Each structure stands twice: as structure tokens, then as C-alpha cells.
Amino acid sequence: MKKLFLLGLCFMAVAGASAQKSLVKEVEGKSKGFDADFAKARTQLAPALTDAETKNDAQTWYVAGTIEFGDYDSQLGKKAVGQAADDKAMGQALVNGYEYFMTAFPLDTVPEVDKTGAPKLNKDGSPKVKTKYSKDMAKKLAAHYNDYASGGQFLWEAQDYPGAYKAWSIYTSLPDNPSLGKDAPKAAPDSIVGQICYFQGLAAWQAERLDDAISAFRSALKLGYNEQALYDYAIGVAAQKQDEALIVEFANEANKVYGDSTSKYLTIIINDKINHEKYDEAMTLLEQAIAVSPTNAELYDVRGILYQSQKKNDEAQADFEKAVSLNPDYVKAQLDLGRVLYAKAVAIEEGAGSIDNASYNKLREEKIDPLLRQAIPYLETALKNDQTESDARRLLRSVYYTLDDEANLKRIEAM
């Protein structure tokens, strides 16, 4: 009885394996053609992807990938004739199809045999092998090369950012994929691939894969894609990573390309030098920039900040006034001018030391209060701008409190 029982178990195991393999072949036959029920085929094949007897069989993953590409092609055909299609599902099908084929490639080895059934050998004595599905998979992937660019867009619009990143990664890497061999598609021009690398970086950023985002932005730059937005996003991602060296690196690169049209990158570079107390280097850069663009209000504002960081408030005030005169709408300069006037008033008060009330009142009347009143219109202007409102409100509260201006103090505190 024991022998019969064990034999029965063996028969059941063989039958189970045979059933799974038969299922794969059955699904393969049903998943061909534009009218195939790809959703049903996917469901039917799912057990074979994890079954011990079929998960290591190239055919299983070949069929799985074929289902995905078939589904994509079917929906693409519907779009071509104006019928509704699921863009997100199309993008996912492309990604899934690629991943299934990549699983199948290393499994796709069939031993070669001679007429007697004996294995053929290579010169080194190793068994000769051939592939059964690789050629078809390589051609199918190559045929869908450009689809991965649009597939990434489908997934981006569906807010599937990891999926969009993957689709665009496939697009940028497929021409160099060794599994495709001679059937690999010819890469698109660098200008196009570079832009897709940029999109890939945006998707990685949205997916909070910050290192991948930086890597993609670098790839885009290497291919010559250096739009200003790329630098801005790269700097933003570096800031999220709290990587100051990386921020400055991208600012330096951006400043080489766009320094003539904006000083925001130079500002980052200068601030970094100020933070590291490299004042002479910062001043040299600013002097060079001002010599090239003498009417650039931002440059004078940055130099004013540099002066103020060295406690040279008179020089700072002169530069902030110059910036405001060049561009009255530049509210940051308005804020900075109001701030340095306030700082000068505070410095006078702190430098007074211990003096009698009469002397202090005279100092207030002749020097401190006039500086505070001089600061008010600039700070009030900065108060009207969202980017400078918070700092302006804080300074105005202190100014009006010091001047005993109760009405304006209440107005500021009520904001």
C-alpha cells in the first residue's frame, strides 16, 4: 500500500506540472489577435508565474509578455480609429511586457542535440545551446521602442510616477540592452533622449526617488539637454536632499549657461561663499558680474548682502538703494534696504552703552528714530508681496513698537 500511495503522489505531482505547462500553451493560443481577451488570459496565466514547475520556464514569461504587448497593440488600434482606450493600462502593459521578457531572456536556453539525440558540445566542452523565444522578444521590444516614450507620458498623466520613470528608463536604455543583441533599436537623437532623461528625472522626483532624479538630470545634461528648468529642478531636488555641495554644483553649471540673463544662480554661489566666509572670492565674482551687467538690480542686491554679512552697513545701504533705483519693482531689494536701515538703528542703540535718559532720548530723536522711519516705506512695499511678506511683517512690528506707533502696530499684528 505504501508503494502504491507513493506512486500516486508522484503521479499527482507530474500531472500537476503537466497541467501547468498545458495551461501556458493554452493561454498562448488564446492570447493572439486583436480580439483576444487579454484580461482573461492574464488571469489564467497568473498561477503559472509562481508555480515551481513553470516559473523557471522561458515560455511562461514569454507568454506573459506577449499578452501585455498584445493588449497594448489592441488598445492602440482602438485609439487609431477613435475608440476609447485606457491610457494608463497601455503604459502599464508596456512596462509589464518589458519586465516579463527580461525575465524570460536568461531562461531561454535549449540544448542542441545531434541526430542521435546526444548533446552537441562547444570547443571548450560545454553544451551547445540555442534560444527559442529570444529573437521574437527582441524584435517585439524593438518594435515598441518609441512607444515607451508615449507610455511614460500616459503614466505621468495618470500620476503613476514610478511607472512613468520605469517606462522612460526603458526608452533611454533599450538601444544598449544586451539581451536584444543585433535586433536592438537605433537610439533616437541625443536631443530627444536627453529630453526623455529630463522627464525621467521629474518622474523620479515626484516618486521621491531623489538620487534617481539627480542621476537622470545628469544623463540629460551629458546628452546636451540643458534647459533652464532642468537646472532649477535639479537644484530643488538637491535642496530636498539637503546636499549643499550638489546645490552649488548645479548652480555653477547653470550660471555658465544662463548667468547673462539671471543672477539667481550666482546668488546661490555667492551665498555659499559667504557661508564659508570666502568674502574675497564672493566679491571678485560680483565685481566681474556687475562690470558685465551694470544695470542688473539683483547683482547690487547680492553685493549689498555680502557687505551686510561683513557688517559694512553703509556700503550695503548704498547697494540696496542702487538696486531699488534700477528696479523699483524688485521687492527683495526693498526688503533688504528696509532691513539694513533697521539694522543700522539697532547697531546705534546697542553701541550707546549705558547713558542717561536725556542722552538716550536725544540719540533716539536724532539718529535711531529717523532710520526706523526711513525703513518703513520699503518694508511696507515688501509687505505687499507674498515672498517677502513674512520678513517685512516681523520687521515692521518691531519698528512700530519701538516708535510707539500703536495704530500701525495693531494693524500689523492683526495680519
Tell me the pLDDT tens digit for each residue of 115-131.
887 888 888 877 787 89
3-state secondary structure of 127: strand
pLDDT (0 to 100) of residue 12: 41
Top-ranked range on mean pLDDT: pick from 20-24, 260-264, 347-351, 409-413: 409-413
Mean pLDDT of the chain: 91
Q: 378-388 burial string, b = 16+ CB within 10 Å, else e?
A: bbbbbbeeeeb
* Alpha-helical regions (H) of 174-309: 190-206, 210-222, 228-240, 244-258, 264-275, 279-292, 297-309
- Contact criterion met (CB below 8 Å) for 396 and 415: no
Tell me the pLDDT tens digit for each residue of 140-173.
999 999 999 999 999 999 999 999 999 999 999 9
pLDDT (0 to 100) of residue 356: 85
Q: How confident is the model at residue 4 (pLDDT cuts 50, 70, 90)?
A: very low
- CA–CA separation, 43 vs 39, rounded Å? 6
- Domain covering 262-328 in this structure, CATH number: 1.25.40.10
Q: Which residue has the higher pLDDT, 7 or 337?
A: 337
Lowest mean pLDDT among 6-20, 46-60, 215-229: 6-20
pLDDT (0 to 100) of residue 114: 81
pLDDT (0 to 100) of residue 29: 66
Is the Cα dihedral 261, 263, 264, 266 positive or negative? Answer: positive
What end-to-end distance do the CA atoms of the chain give, in Å? 91
Q: pLDDT at residue 11 above 50?
A: no
- CA–CA separation, 338 vs 332, rounded Å? 10
Q: How confident is the model at residue 1 (pLDDT cuts 50, 70, 90)?
A: very low
- Contact criterion met (CB below 8 Å) for 31 and 67: yes
Q: 60-85 burial string, b = 16+ CB within 10 Å, else e?
A: bbbbbbbbbbbbbbbbbeeeeeeeeb
Q: Which residue has the higher pLDDT, 352 or 367?
A: 367
- CA–CA separation, 397 vs 405, rounded Å? 10
- CA–CA separation, 101 vs 134, rounded Å? 9
- CA–CA separation, 172 vs 149, rounded Å? 9
What average pLDDT does range 349-374 have in this prediction? 90
Tell me the pLDDT tens digit for each residue of 25-77.
776 766 666 567 888 989 999 999 999 889 999 999 999 999 999 999 999 99
